[in-house]
Amino acid sequence: MATAALPDRAQVVIVGGGVIGCSIAYHLAHLGWTDVVLLERDRLTAGTTWHAAGLITCAGMTDETSLWMSRYSRDLYARLEEETGHSTGFRATGHVSIATTPGRVEALRRESEFFKGFGVDDVELSPGELAAMWPLLETSDVLAGFYVADEGRADPVGVATSLAKGATAKGVRIVQGVCFERAETDGRRVTAAITDRGRIETEIVVNAAGMWARQLGARNGVSIPLQATEHYYLLTDTVPGMDRDLAVIEDPDGYGYYRPEGDGMLVGVFEPVAAPWALDGVPDDASFTTLPPDWDRLGPFLEPALARIPSLAEVGMRQLFCGPESFTPDVHPMLGPAPELDGYVVAAGLNSIGILTGGGVGAVVARWIVDGVPPVDVAGYTVERAAPHETSRRFRAERAVEQLGVLFGDAAYPSWTPATARGVRRSALHDRHVAHGAHLHVSAGWEYAAWYAGDGPPPRPHPDFSRPEAFPLVAAEHRAVREAVGVLDLSLMAELLVQGPAAAAVLERLSTARVAREVGRVVYTQWLDTAGGIVADLTVTRLGDEEFLVVASDVIHRRVPAMIRRAARPGEVVTVADVTSGTTLLSVQGPRSRELLARLSDADLSDAAFPYLAARRIDVGYAPVTALRVTYVGELGWELHIPAEYSVGVFDDLLAAGADLGVRLVGLDAMGSLRLEKGYRDMGVDIDNTDTPLAAGLGFTVAWDKPGGFVGRDALLPLRSAGAPPDRVVSLVVDDPTVDLWGNEPVLAAGEWVGYVRAAAFGHTLGGPVGLAQVHHEDGVTGAWLEAGGFSVWTPRGAVPARLQLAAPYDPERKRVLGG
């Protein structure tokens, strides 16, 4: 492909000529943005694209976005040759995931049912049917296979080259042999791309530099956590009986995958104990690098993989290939605008599935650039979700070890939590939690208590979908909140002090609700994008005329300050101080919470003096505390925002003073069941940027007529006039106490798919599973349609009756919250 001259200016500069950079260029061009230049330091496909295995499958894609991206890529690669004249090498040979344990059978069966709701025909095969399809495969230990006929494999170089040809045909310029050095900036905005061959004036730089992306981002202060890791596949000599049209096989329990390669076979390994590469930085000249294989380390994982095809014992080995692939801390890509620098977009960290999802990633990022908002749910994909510590050398060295196995299926079960790079961010009360038998999980690096074992033997999490051994402990914590009083440590929540003469104006502009209320008022609100989608779900508390406290979930911690900064207009003065690390957040909840706090404070906690959604500065024991009367569990309760140095004393005082009241430490597993009984939403779990407040059931937060409006109002107004939305988040209840729901189960109406469960837990007050589901009804999801019934939810043991409703299943009249 001819290389264009380096232009002086371009609307968009894409850095990186792998499949992702080429896909973004292709899709921008098809959206009419042709003033685009793609820079490749070496040649197209350098880095990891050139040595990818090219599997095209939706296996493991158990969220809407990853499933859409994989299926879109499949469809694009199937038709791209007709458009560009260059083959992608796509062959729909079929794909099979096999299960050798009961837990894996259930995981794949759940995945299959989820896929079917989105039109993917995933067929369960018996061991006999699988053996007939793949005669060379050892199936004596196989319990089931799951087959998608229209998937298969593609040629990675062909895919990238075809995308590049499609882009240049519409006017995109591709310049090879030029090194991007950094983005030139004016304050916090990109103004140019600086290269070793000159400057290109531009408004947008897209970092699609693959395993170099972290290093390039660091030059501009942009945090992009990813780490190159050794990745292996074995190429064999001729295999007798090999059919080049055999389906791709994946064996997640054996950490191996298999596909024909000419007259031989490619055997890939996603070992559960991997090895990071180039921790101190990927060399600039590593474009087409192969790494020396570590036979000693890989041997224990390669041997069982080879045993899946017994005839390989008699076949020679052509090459054990080892090349670098970049992995992220949660094995999801890093996409979208960087919070640190306006005009700097990231599209990197594809976790060995860049070819598989490359078409979809390019389509999403291009649309995001053109429209300013993403077209799909990106809650688990934005680069801003990552914590800055995840770029540290130590974190990358530790976390990279488990990521290949995690991607390949180790994380398929509800009890799974990362094992590496733990203990990074700890509450000031961490040692107290450990002493009380806390079982710790992690979110955004924060260690948090899932449940407490107390003095008893700790229950053991197990890798399957059976009811956990900790079930009675979570039930007891749940009941303590409903019947007495519980204490939850929520210090992982982001706490931001927003101050300045323009603080009220900026927050009003962002918020759907009216937040510039009287001093001492807590307001629950959403912040939207221009399309009306929810991008932040939080509380805003007015502490003074020019001082507000914003509390948001940990997953959008980096997003919120950037939104405030971008919302400020020229001349407006507003500052954001992140006080998360200096604050301990204890939530004291339950019908006896007022009685407990009254024993430690002389403040008037009555309904008249301290009503719901009020904030007061009070003393709790020795400590000066900002107390907010709010709840996330549906009971009388307060959030105590405590300066960290006082937190241990307050914690000890609460437990001592509440001993005769039935006080109990409560983990986030119980909080999940409590909040779902009340129908409270969780940003990034059951609501996301594809949901408007109307579709999410949060229309009550919208102050439609407030002066000046708010971001996203214009997009919401026609939706409001249209009546009940066809897609809506609703509460779901199953009355059968023997059933467990985990999320992603299909919801059926008269036996037909109408949606799926977004989040679920066992409702210990209601006596059965409870959740929030996304459901669709073409004529609008109305109360009348839901009340008509006929709903069920799919489970592995069959469909079970379910009730769907708009109102909260527990205390819909809020009597518990308001009166206590």
pLDDT in tens, 364-422: 999 999 999 999 999 999 999 999 999 999 999 999 999 999 999 999 999 999 999 99
Six token digits for residue 515:
């937040």
Say what the pTM is: 0.97
Which of 477, 486, 473 has its CA nearest to residue 591?
Answer: 486
Q: Say which CATH class 423-510+542-694 falls into.
A: alpha beta
Which of 286, 278, 295, 277 has its CA nearest to residue 234?
Answer: 295
Confidence of residue 561 (pLDDT cuts 50, 70, 90): very high
> For the chain, what is the largest distance between any 2 Cα atoms, rounded to a whole number of angstroms?
84
Give CB contacts under 8 A, 24+ apart, made by 602-607.
603/627, 607/818, 607/819, 607/820
The answer, yes or no, to whether residue 820 has pLDDT greater than 60, is no
Work out the angle at residue 274's Cα, subtended by the Cα atoms of residues 270 and 280, and round it to the nearest 5 degrees: 130
Strand order in the sheet with 547-552: 522-528, 534-544, 547-552, 494-499, 575-578
What per-residue confidence (pLDDT) applies to 456? 84
How much of the chain, in percent, has pLDDT values that exceed 70?
Answer: 100
* Sole residue written with tokens 């430490």: 665
Q: Which amino acid is present at 43?
A: R
The partner residues of 753 in beta bridges, in order of sequence, read: 748
Which of 76, 57, 68, 48 has its CA nearest to residue 119?
Answer: 68
For residues 28 and 366, give the distance between their C-alpha atoms in angstroms, rounded to a whole number.
Answer: 5
**Range(s) within the chain of domains with CATH label 3.30.1360.120:** 423-510+542-694
User: How many residues are there in the chain?
Assistant: 820
The answer, yes or no, to whether residue 172 has pLDDT greater than 80, is yes
Buried b (16+ CB within 10 A) or exposed e, 486-510: bbbbbbbbbbbbbbbebbbbbbbbb
What per-residue confidence (pLDDT) applies to 2? 54
What per-residue confidence (pLDDT) applies to 5? 85
Q: Does domain 12-383 have CATH number 1.10.3720.10?
A: no
Helix 354-371 with 156-169: angle, nearest 10 deg: 30
> Where would I find the H helices in 10-137?
19-30, 64-84, 102-116, 127-133
819, with CB counted inside 10 A (0-12, 13-18, 19+), is exposed
DSSP secondary structure, 676-732, as one string:
HHTT---BTTTB-TT--TTTTT-GGG--TT-TT--TTHHHHHHHHHT-S-SEEEEEE
Tell me if 78 sits within 8 A of 93, measured CB to CB.
no
Across 452-456, average pLDDT: 92
pLDDT digits (tens, 9 = 90+) for 206-260: 999 999 999 999 999 999 999 999 999 999 999 998 899 999 999 999 999 999 9
Six token digits for residue 279:
């921790």
pLDDT digits (tens, 9 = 90+) for 286-340: 999 999 999 999 989 888 888 999 999 889 989 999 999 999 999 999 999 999 9
Main-chain dihedrals φ then ψ at residue 208, nearest 5 degrees: -115, 45
Across 787-799, average pLDDT: 96
How much of the chain, in percent, has pLDDT values that exceed 90?
Answer: 96
Q: What is the mean pLDDT of the chain?
A: 97
The answer, yes or no, to whether residue 664 has pLDDT greater than 90, is yes
Q: Say which CATH class 723-813 falls into.
A: mainly beta
The answer, yes or no, to whether residue 166 has pLDDT greater than 60, is yes
For residues 152 and 75, give the distance between their C-alpha atoms in angstroms, rounded to a whole number.
Answer: 12
For residues 192 and 13, give the distance between their C-alpha atoms in angstroms, rounded to a whole number.
Answer: 9
What per-residue confidence (pLDDT) applies to 512? 98
Buried b (16+ CB within 10 A) or exposed e, 589-623: bbbbbbbbbeebbebebeeeebebbbbbebebbeb
The answer, yes or no, to whether residue 651 has pLDDT greater than 60, is yes
**Range(s) within the chain of domains with CATH label 3.50.50.60:** 12-383
Confidence of residue 46 (pLDDT cuts 50, 70, 90): very high
Across 475-483, average pLDDT: 98
The answer, yes or no, to whether residue 136 has pLDDT greater than 80, is yes
CA atoms within 13 A on the CB side of 310: 7
Six token digits for residue 375:
């077209």
Which of 494, 469, 511 has its CA nearest to residue 554?
Answer: 494
Tell me if 600 sits within 8 A of 653, measured CB to CB.
yes
What per-residue confidence (pLDDT) applies to 12? 98
Across 83-107, average pLDDT: 97
What per-residue confidence (pLDDT) applies to 241? 83
**Range(s) within the chain of domains with CATH label 2.40.30.110:** 723-813
Report how far Cα 86 is from the mean position of its chain's Cα atoms.
Answer: 35
Tell me if 799 sits within 8 A of 751, measured CB to CB.
yes
The answer, yes or no, to whether residue 487 has pLDDT greater than 90, is yes
What per-residue confidence (pLDDT) applies to 1? 53
